[in-house]
Chain A
Amino acid sequence: MALDDQKSVFKFVGTRPDRPDGLDKVTGRAKFGADVSAAGMLHGAILRSPHAHARIVKIDASKAQAHPDVKAVVTRADFSDKVPFKPGLAGEFWNVLENVMAGDKALYDGHAVAAVAATSALAARDALKLIEVDYEVLPHVTDVDKAMAADAPVIREGAADYSVPEGLHPNVVRYHESGHGDVEAGFGEADLVVEDSFTTEATHQGYIEPHACLAQLGADGKGELWCTTQGHWIAQKTCAALLGIETAQLRVTASEIGGGFGGKTTVFIEPVALALSRKANRPVKIVMSRSEVFRATGPTSSASMDVKIGMKKDGSITAAQGIFRLQGGAFPGAPGDMTAMCAFAPYNLTNVRQVGYDVMANRPKQAAYRAPGAPMGAFAVESVLDELCNQLGLDPVEVRLKNAAHDGSKASYGPTYDQIGLVKTLEEAKAHPHYAAPLKPGQGRGISCGFWFNHGGETSVSLALSEDGSAQLMVGTPDIGGSRASMALMAAEVLGIPYENIRVTVADTATLGYNDVSHGSRVTYASGLATIKAARHAVERLCARAAAKWGIPEDAVKWEDGCAVPSGPNAGDFDPLPLADITANMGATGGPISGHFEATPEGAGVSFGTHIVDAEVDPETGKTAITRYTVIQDAGKAIHPAYVEGQYQGGAAQGIGWALNEEYIYGEDGRLQNSIFLDYRIPVASDLPMIDTVIVEVPNPGHPFGVRGVGETGIVPPLAAIANAVSNAAGVRMRDLPMSPPRILAALKARDG
């Protein structure tokens, strides 16, 4: 059911003004995590395990503590002992605490075991060498399938939650199964059944700004924290729990953020800096190196998957089944359930079954990465669909259209879809010149659809008007994708004042009520909805002032183009009263005029996309070139189309890296082999074609302007679309990511016998 007041004609929304924070960012004026200092500040450094799995027998920090430059050393004993361990994700604070500072065992290469604060960054790093740790090295496992095997070392007994069936290895900590119909009967009706297995490696979000923070915590339990984060309220709540202080006594301010993509939705160094500060009674700054970012912050999960799909000769899918095993490091949380629920979501299926496993291994704790879990599942499912199309001689877009989920069809994860845009994205793909363009010899084309849920979340926004008629908007969601511009456009649309007259600030935790993290593609949806409602609240108060001035009832005044006007001929004959004329003397007509909105919006609306990719494989070197790329995705309503296109292009670019080159490489010793960008190859500009975009707009009934989140869906189709393009170019099905040159050469060699 659509919101009654959904707007469809816009003056500001849909335009492409410069972003308000643009000048700050291109001139270096913007302050990121590492850009602040404090008087008397110390520098923190963290000692990390060189072992993939080891019992910590003893930590002797006496030599470090005796060094004159060292002002504090902390270990696990310096954190709260009242954080309860619980199975699965129910004990997530304990999981985070165990991750930011090891307890009895080091669980992966790079796991923090102690930290120091010293008078300089160099002194702090040198002091780490003075800390002596006795380890008892234990057997380790880093591969998801091996971690589930009967002989795998147990990471931690008792971590499995209620969902895990009996008989599975203790490293399997969560289990999900869903679907409907009878898949075996469905496979029996098929003319062709294809069953295949696929793997993807862990990849890092690759944000350009390493984690950094400045912390101050006194013996009185009052603290200040400045950090680069996607959510400073969750940082506040988590740090307070891990340090054993009251939440409200810790004020957290989010710095500008140099990328997050899900990886900055939790804390890593922040509780450590606070613990060091409390012990030294001085501010402490910690800045991670890139190697620390790779070794000790969350990459995405690696995956091992089996998919089976049955199809009739006309392209109708008769049944689909997927088993998805996701490895999430030494803690519960790998999104096997999300993989399972998203994998077949683009299709209208009578018979479908999906199973997801959350598996622990001796690797860093996985963190969210744009649509966590969905890209891997799409890779496996869409690869099998491509193979079915190839073997049956069917057009891949026509087959997807034939089976596409639409308004009123039953989702693979259960409910009936409301208003969705998948069919439109496929029709746009079919009509796009890219799809009809001829391919050169050695090139292949790939198609994939993708799905993501999107999210609402707790949201609080305030808008304050100034005497001169300008407006200050305070939001609580860090700007990770140009959201200041989108918020200002939506506020301008309601207030009727120029976009440039609105200053958007990401407020600290002491200024607004709780705000959920900038994740789940929720910011333009939820903070946008709250901005619209806060602006409407301010407009109500502006209309009330005009009514009082004119001596007519408040409901006889309406708001048009930035002015209060009589609502009709019977309301009286008054000239329009501009906003600035009302605010000019608001102090004398009732006081400051502000608007507020706090809620948990629950109508985020799901999102779909379709990607078309052309790839060319060099048979001599195995190198793949992406020669053309088109992203088509439903945005509901694009508030600032340039930033929507940027999200689409960014998803494709990250997907190209994930598909072709990026991977965590572990040695036999369980240590990460490629923890710098020289060895972990993300795409550079010369690897990328110009990425075309098509914005489809099927309004989301749950947002006043029809917005759907766009930040995550764009990374769901690329792995599969690229793999299908490469497989079709190479003439051999590529089942394992990344499709690096050595792997492609091996596949070509195997193809040729």
Chain B
Amino acid sequence: MTVKVHLWSGLRTLTGGQEVVEVEASTIGEMLRELVRLHPALQAPIEAGVSVSVDGRIMASDLTAPVSAEDEIYLMQRLRGG
């Protein structure tokens, strides 16, 4: 299914100015792979580590979590704590 992924605005330069990217995916892992396939420049930030917010729930690392067309999805910088 098609999901809409909101990027943080610092990534716009890597996606030709797009801040919202649509990809075909049913899990976070698929979504990240598709993002890199469509926008190869996103490989660096995704490899460096990202978190994903799905309907306000922040996924720090789970690639198997499902995503769907109705979800609000935000790519976020990887979170670090103390």
- Which among A90, A337, A522 is the interface contact of B47 at CB below 8 angstroms? A90
Decide: A415 and B82 in contact? CB cutoff 8 A: no
Q: How many angstroms from the CA of A702 to the CA of B77 in the assembled complex?
A: 21
- The verdict on A456 contacting chain B, using a C-beta distance below 8 Å, is yes
A395 within 8 A of B: no
A367 to B81, CA, bound (A): 10
Is A520 in the interface zone, CB < 8 Å from B?
Answer: yes
Contacts A178-B9, A413-B76, A519-B81 given: A162-B14 contact, CB under 8 Å? yes
Interfacial chain A residues near B74, Cβ < 8 Å: 413-415
Q: A175-B10, A418-B57 are in contact. Are A338 and B80 (CB under 8 A)?
A: yes
Q: B58 to A453, Cβ gap below 8 A? A: yes
Please, which residue of chain B has its CB at the minimum distance from the CB of A453? B79
Nearest Cβ on chain A to B67's Cβ, whole angstroms: 13
Residues in A whose Cβ lies below 8 Å from that of B41 = 162
Q: Which residues of B contact A262 (CB under 8 A)?
A: 81-82
Residue of B nearest to A164 (CB): B10
* CB atoms of B81 and A371 under 8 A apart: yes
Residues of B with C-beta under 8 A to A415: 53, 55-56, 58, 72, 74, 76
Complex Cα spacing A228 to B49, Å: 27
Q: Judging by beta carbons under 8 Å apart, are B60 and A177 in contact?
A: no
A578 at the interface (CB under 8 A from B): no
Smallest beta-carbon distance B35→chain A, Å: 14
Nearest CB of chain A from residue B16's CB, rounded to whole Å: 15
Q: Which residues of B contact A600 (CB under 8 A)?
A: 60-62
* B53 engages A414 (CB within 8 Å): yes
Q: Which residue of B lies closest to A606 (CB)?
A: B58
**From residue B33, how far is it (CB to closest CB) to chain A in Å?**
18
Tell me whether A372 and B48 are in contact (CB under 8 A): no
Asked whether B9 lies within 8 Å of A370 as measured between CB atoms, the reply is no
- The answer to whether B82 touches A261 (Cβ under 8 A) is yes
Q: How far is the CA of A537 from the CA of B58 in the complex (A)?
A: 26
Q: Are A179 and B9 within 8 A (Cβ)?
A: yes
A96 partner residues in chain B, CB cutoff 8 A: none
Q: Which residues of A contact B8 (CB under 8 A)?
A: 176-178, 413-414
Query: Bound complex: CA of A372 vs CA of B76, how far in Å?
Result: 16
Asked whether any CB of chain B lies closer than 8 Å to the CB of A562, the reply is no
List A contacts of B44 (CB < 8 A): 161-162
Complex CA gap A656/B8 in Å reads 34
How far apart are B10's CB and chain A's nearest CB, in angstroms? 4
Q: Quick check: is B36 within 8 A (CB to CB) of the other chain?
A: no
Q: How far is the CA of A458 from the CA of B62 in the complex (A)?
A: 10
Residues of A within 8 A of B10 (CB): 163, 175-178
Inter-subunit contact A416/B55 (CB<8 Å): yes
Given A162-B45, A176-B10, A179-B9, A603–B57 Cβ distance below 8 Å? yes
Task: Give Cα distance in the complex from A261 to B48, angstroms.
Answer: 25
Is B59 positioned at the interface, with any CB of A under 8 Å from its CB? Answer: yes
List the B side residues contacting A90 at CB < 8 Å. Answer: 47-48
A364 to chain B, nearest CB (A): 16
Cβ-closest chain B residue relative to A265: B82
Range, interface on chain B = 20 to 34
Q: Which A601-620 residues have C-beta < 8 A from chain B? A: 602-604, 606
Would B60 and A89 count as touching, CB distance under 8 A?
no
Given A90-B47, A414-B8, A418-B56, check contact A520 B80 (CB 8 Å). yes
Q: Is A88 an interface residue (CB 8 A)?
A: yes
Judged by a CB distance under 8 angstroms, whether A457 is at the interface is: yes
A98 close to chain B: CB less than 8 A: no
Q: Are B81 and A455 in contact (CB under 8 A)?
A: yes
Known A90-B47, A90-B48, A417-B56; judge A176-B82 contact (CB<8 A): no
Contact B59 A602 (CB under 8 A): yes
A341 at interface, CB cutoff 8 A: yes
Q: Is the CB of A602 within 8 A of B58?
A: yes
Contacts of A353 in B (CB 8 A): 9
| Residues from chain A with Cβ under 8 Å of B47 in the complex | 90
Could you give, for residues 23-57 of chain B, a 1 whenever the CB lies within 8 Å of some chain A CB and a 0 otherwise?
Answer: 00000000000000000010011011100010111
Chain A min CB distance to B65 (Å)? 7
Instruction: Mark contacts of A492-530 with chain B using CB atoms, 8 A cut-off: 1 yes-contact digit, 0 otherwise.
Output: 000000000000000000000000000111100000000
A374, closest chain B residue (CB): B82
CA distance A88 to B72 in the complex (A): 29
CB < 8 Å neighbour of B79 from A177, A458, A520: A520
Cα–Cα distance between A178 and B11 once the two chains are bound (Å): 9
Q: Among B14, B74, B79, B82, find the residue whose CB has the most chain A CB atoms closer than 10 A.
A: B82
**With A416-B55, A416-B56, A602-B59 known to touch, is A368 a contact of B80 (CB < 8 Å)?**
yes
CB A655 to nearest CB in B, in angstroms, measures: 14
Mark out the residues of chain A between 560 and 579 whose CB falls within 8 Å of any chain B CB in the assembled complex: none
A454 contacts chain B at the CB level, 8 A cutoff: yes
Which residues on B sit within 8 Å (CB–CB) of A263?
82
Residue of B nearest to A264 (CB): B82
A607 to chain B, nearest CB (A): 11
Cα–Cα, bound, A722→B53 (Å): 33
- Chain A proximity of B8: nearest CB distance (Å): 4
A600–B76 Cα distance when bound, in Å, is 18
Partner of B55, one of A338, A418, A521: A418
CB-CB nearest in chain B for A420: B56
Does A209 make an interface contact (CB < 8 A)? no
Contact with B57, one of A88, A261, A457, A702 (Cβ below 8 angstroms): A702
Assembly CA distance A522 to B9 (angstroms):
28
Q: Is the CB of B72 within 8 A of A335?
A: no
A602 touches B48 (CB 8 A): no
Report the separation of the CA atoms of residues A458 and B60 in the bound assembly, to the nearest whole angstrom. Answer: 10
Q: Which residue of B lies closest to A179 (CB)?
A: B9
Contact yes or no, A414 B6, CB < 8 A: yes
**Chain A window 411-454, contacts with chain B (Cβ cutoff 8 Å), 1 for yes, 0 for no:** 00111111000000000000000000000000000000000011
Known: A162-B45, A418-B57. 7 other contacts (CB 8 A): A262-B81, A338-B80, A413-B8, A414-B8, A455-B60, A602-B58, A602-B62
Question: 13 pairs across A/B with beta carbons < 8 Å?
Answer: A175-B10, A176-B77, A261-B82, A262-B81, A368-B80, A368-B82, A414-B6, A414-B76, A415-B55, A418-B57, A600-B61, A602-B60, A604-B58
Binding site for A on B (CB under 8 A): 6, 8-10, 13-14, 41, 44-45, 47-49, 53, 55-62, 65, 72, 74, 76-77, 79-82
Shortest beta-carbon contacts, A-B, top 9:
A262-B82, A520-B81, A368-B82, A162-B44, A177-B10, A415-B53, A178-B8, A418-B56, A414-B74
